Amino acid sequence: MTIESGLSPWLARTQPNPQASLRLFCFPYAGGGATIYHSWPASLPPSVEVCGIQLPGRGSRLKEKPYTRASPLIESLAVEMAPYLDRPFAFFGHSLGAMISFELAHRLRGERGLEPAHLFVSGRRAPQLPKPDRDIYQLPEPEFIEQLRRLNGTPREVLEHPELMGVMIPSLRADFEMSETYVYSARPPLRCPITALGGLEDEEVTRPDLEAWRAQTSGPFSLRLLPGDHFFLHSSKSVILQLISRGLDEAVRAPDHR
Q: Where are the domains of the chain?
A: 11-253
Q: Annotated catalytic sites, by residue?
A: 95
**Quick one: pLDDT at residue 257?**
46
Architecture in CATH for domain 11-253:
3-Layer(aba) Sandwich (3.40)
- Residues 150, 153, 156, CA angle at the centre, nearest 5°? 75
**Quick one: pLDDT at residue 6?**
57
Q: Hey, what amino acid is at 110?
A: G
Pairing of strands 194-199, 221-226: parallel
Q: How far is CA 115 from CA 65, 80, 151, 258, in A?
A: 29, 16, 32, 7
**Quick one: pLDDT at residue 156?**
73
Give pLDDT tens digits along the chain (258 positions).
Answer: 444 545 789 999 888 888 899 999 999 999 899 999 999 999 999 999 999 999 999 988 999 999 999 999 999 999 999 999 999 999 999 999 999 999 999 999 999 999 999 999 999 999 999 987 778 898 888 888 888 888 776 767 777 777 877 878 899 999 999 999 999 999 999 999 999 999 999 988 999 999 999 999 999 999 999 999 999 999 999 999 999 999 998 877 765 544
Q: Which helix (H) or strand (E) holds 23?
A: strand 22-27
Do residues 192 and 240 lie in contact, with contact meaning Cβ atoms separated by under 8 Å?
no
Question: How far is 21 from 35, CA to CA, in rounded Å?
Answer: 23
**Quick one: pLDDT at residue 138?**
83
**Quick one: pLDDT at residue 3?**
43
**Quick one: pLDDT at residue 165?**
79
Q: Hey, what amino acid is at 155?
A: P
Whether the predicted model's global pTM rises above the 0.75 cut = yes
**Quick one: pLDDT at residue 255?**
53
Q: Residues with Cβ < 8 Å from 237, sequence gap 6 or more?
A: none
> Virtual CA dihedral for 68, 125, 98, 201, nearest 10 degrees?
110
Q: What is the Cα 148 distance to its own chain's centre?
A: 18
